[in-house]
Amino acid sequence: MLSREFYNVVHILGIILLMSSLGGVALHAMNGGTSANNRSRRFTATLHGLGAACILVGGFGMLARIGFTHGEMFPPWLLVKLMVWILLAAAPFLPYQRPHLARWLMLGLPALGGVAAFMGIYKPV
């Protein structure tokens, strides 16, 4: 049986993968790059997908280890984290569709990541 600590490492690894790929895409768009002329598109998309998957696997793995059962209602702190995950999972399209928002994505990464981390660590609600 895989431990809570193992899932925590998978969770953090996923966050690092996802953040680094989104940072790369945002910088490319800030420098005037488009989706078509991004020669590392497949690479960053792979890192992003892998990261998003690791966050979920690690997160749900930890949930199972801390005693959550199937069918149990998700507490608010977890719903906030899931919303952050959805936003960051959908984020790679943003800098290409709206290049002027690429800078905001770069700033939004630590802000959203910070909110999700706060929710996981303090569980205020």
Site residues for ligand HEM per CB under 6 A: 8, 11, 15, 55-56, 59-60, 62-63, 66, 78, 81-82, 84-85, 88, 113, 116-117, 120-121
Q: Whole-number minimum distance, CB 29 to ligand HEM, in Å?
A: 20
Measured CA to CA, the distance from residue 92 to residue 17 in angstroms comes to 13
How far is it, in rounded angstroms, from Cα 11 to Cα 45?
Answer: 18
**36, 99 in Cβ contact below 8 A?**
no
Q: Which is nearer to ligand HEM, 47 or 84 (CB)?
A: 84
Q: How far is the CB of 24 from ligand HEM (least distance, A)?
A: 16
Output 34 or 46, the one with its CB closest to ligand HEM.
46
Minimum Å gap between C-beta 121 and ligand HEM is 5
Query: Distance between CA atoms of 33 and 28, rounded to whole angstroms?
Result: 5
- Which CB atom, from 84 or from 102, has the smaller least distance to ligand HEM? 84
Tokens linked to 36: 């078509």
The pair of three-digit structure tokens given for residue 70, joined into one six-digit string: 């199937």
CA 42 to chain centre: 18
Of residues 98, 82, 84, 89, the one with CA closest to residue 26: 98
Task: Name the residue nearer to ligand HEM (CB basis): 61 or 95.
Answer: 61
Least separation in angstroms between residue 6's CB and ligand HEM is 13
